[in-house]
Amino acid sequence: MIPVTIIVHPKEKLSKCSLRNLRDRPGFDFLKATKKFQFDATNYILLSTDAPELTITDNAYPILLLDSTWRLLPKLEACLTGNPIRRSIPQNIKTAYPRQSKISEDPQNGLASIEALYIALKILGHDDSSILDNYHWKEEFLLKLRNPKNNS
């Protein structure tokens, strides 16, 4: 399995975190971005919405996932040093997570963290739907993947 580092914004509520059930699984390293936190992201695949698409040729690198609300994401990105390899999930994949932000607009192609991680690992050759276990919208998300016409 490809190593995954997840940096969590300090304001992210564990009770609402879609990744919380991965905390005890091997291969997943969770870090909390407290004050003065820095992380050298050099040679990590950083999932981003505005980058070239992830491909199987990227499977030699560990994944770095920033877990935050979309609004707070720039502050979390500011903690990164070095030169990550920015990659995106294919644009045709849509979230099953019901968006309800009243403060800011989420990107059209944005996914829930757990959805993005599942798709990234699948693209990199590690298709393990158990990653989505305990994700409330697992079935809806997998249905959208099987039936792209439902991606509206």
Give residue 71's pLDDT: 82
Give residue 19's pLDDT: 86
pTM: 0.85
pLDDT < 70: residue spans in the chain: 13-16, 97-110, 148-152
Domain ranges of the chain: 4-150
Q: Where are the alpha helices (DSSP H) in the chain?
A: 73-77, 113-123, 138-146
DSSP strand E in 21-77: where?
28-32, 39-40, 45-47, 63-67
Give residue 20's pLDDT: 80
